[in-house]
Amino acid sequence: MSVTVCLTFDFDAMSSWIYGYRTKSPNALSRGEFGAVGARRLIDLLRLRNIRGTWFVPGHSAEAFPDIMAALVSGGHEIGHHGYCHEDPSHMERAEEIFVLERGIDVLRSMTGVAPVGYRTPSGSFSENSLALLLEHGFAYDSSMMADDFTPYYCRVGDRVAVDEPFVFGECVDIVEVPFAWHLDDHPFFEHTRSRRGINPGLADPNRVYEVWRGEFDYLYQRLGEGVYTLTLHPQVIGRGHSLLMLERLLDDIAGHSNVVFRTMGDYVAEWRGENPLATWKSPATGP
Ligand SMILES: [Zn+2]
């Protein structure tokens, strides 16, 4: 029995402001630009602790900060796909979604030498085409969904969803889901935002966030004993002093446990897939 910890970093930089908030305001963009400051702090933190992280990087961020990409590659970190300019796939036609997916792959491949195998959807929402497109484009895993918390599972395509008939489960496909959770994401807790979409208060007490993140880890470690603990972190958010010190405290506490390993998501998924091949896997959703 062991617990794997995956530290994941969504390096949105300016892209999420440009696409998500539809703004070119220098002030808003500067909040994204701080992501580069945060990224450099995090790269140092990971190097000092000998941890390899998984960085989901929009192509737009990669092109804006090639020095950070070079540092990530030379540091042995995994680079995953996160759109080209943080586009929300749920709002796209299929052809546009393919264009963005391939543009992001091309940028990351040109800068890292390999095509990404991991994906996290910007904005947290797939279209009805997204999973099939990830499969067609050679992705091994996604980390955007929430049907479990610490246990990976195979994604499905073809669910039938209607208000006037029972839910019909689709077919499992060879994309591993490493569950994501909003309460293990720094952005809703810390980042204060106002837009047409509403207000996120943010500005949370880091001690409160520590309690939530530590509570999730303790449940996994003490009650389940096996699984993957995934933190979703944004350099422009967690890179601020107060939240970064909280993260360091949490990592100290987690590292003090036996049978806990820090790994990239890609490495973890490769092992999990080997131990749980799709051909013999039984979905917890539909039962044996
Ligand atoms: Zn993002």
Domain assignment present for residue 13? The answer is yes
CA of 104 from ligand 1 middle (Å) equals 13
- For residue 197, the model assigns a pLDDT of 77
CA of 11 from ligand 1 middle (Å) equals 7
- For residue 283, the model assigns a pLDDT of 83
Q: Are 187 and 237 in contact (CB under 8 A)?
A: yes
- For residue 282, the model assigns a pLDDT of 86
- For residue 123, the model assigns a pLDDT of 86
- For residue 193, the model assigns a pLDDT of 87
Domain assignment present for residue 268? The answer is yes
Cα Rg, the chain, nearest whole Å: 18
Domain assignment present for residue 171? The answer is yes
Domain assignment present for residue 93? The answer is yes
Write the DSSP symbol of residue 237. H
CA of 10 from ligand 1 middle (Å) equals 5
- For residue 196, the model assigns a pLDDT of 77
The Cα–Cα gap between 286 and 43 comes to 41
Whose tokens are 């991991």? That residue is 118
- Find the domain containing 23 and state its range: 3-280
CA of 56 from ligand 1 middle (Å) equals 8
Domain assignment present for residue 167? The answer is yes
Q: Is 9 helix (H, G, I), strand (E, B) or coil?
A: strand
- For residue 130, the model assigns a pLDDT of 96
Domain assignment present for residue 285? The answer is no
Domain assignment present for residue 182? The answer is yes
CA of 57 from ligand 1 middle (Å) equals 8
CA of 85 from ligand 1 middle (Å) equals 9
Whose tokens are 């049978």? That residue is 259
CA of 257 from ligand 1 middle (Å) equals 30
Domain assignment present for residue 80? The answer is yes
The Cα–Cα gap between 235 and 39 comes to 5
CATH of the domain at 179: 3.20.20.370
Write the DSSP symbol of residue 263. -
18: tokens are 């440009």
Report how many domains make up the chain: 1
CA of 188 from ligand 1 middle (Å) equals 12
- For residue 287, the model assigns a pLDDT of 59
Strands 260-262 and 3-10: parallel
CA of 182 from ligand 1 middle (Å) equals 12
- For residue 1, the model assigns a pLDDT of 76
Q: Is 138 left (phi over 0), alpha (psi -120 to 50) or beta?
A: left
What string of pLDDT tens digits covers the 288 residues of the chain? 799 999 999 999 999 999 888 889 999 999 999 999 999 999 999 999 999 999 999 999 999 999 999 999 999 999 999 999 999 999 899 999 999 999 999 999 999 999 999 999 998 899 999 999 999 999 999 999 999 999 999 999 999 999 999 999 999 999 999 999 999 999 999 999 888 778 988 899 999 999 999 999 999 999 999 999 999 999 999 999 999 999 999 999 999 999 999 999 999 999 999 999 999 998 887 755
CA of 16 from ligand 1 middle (Å) equals 6
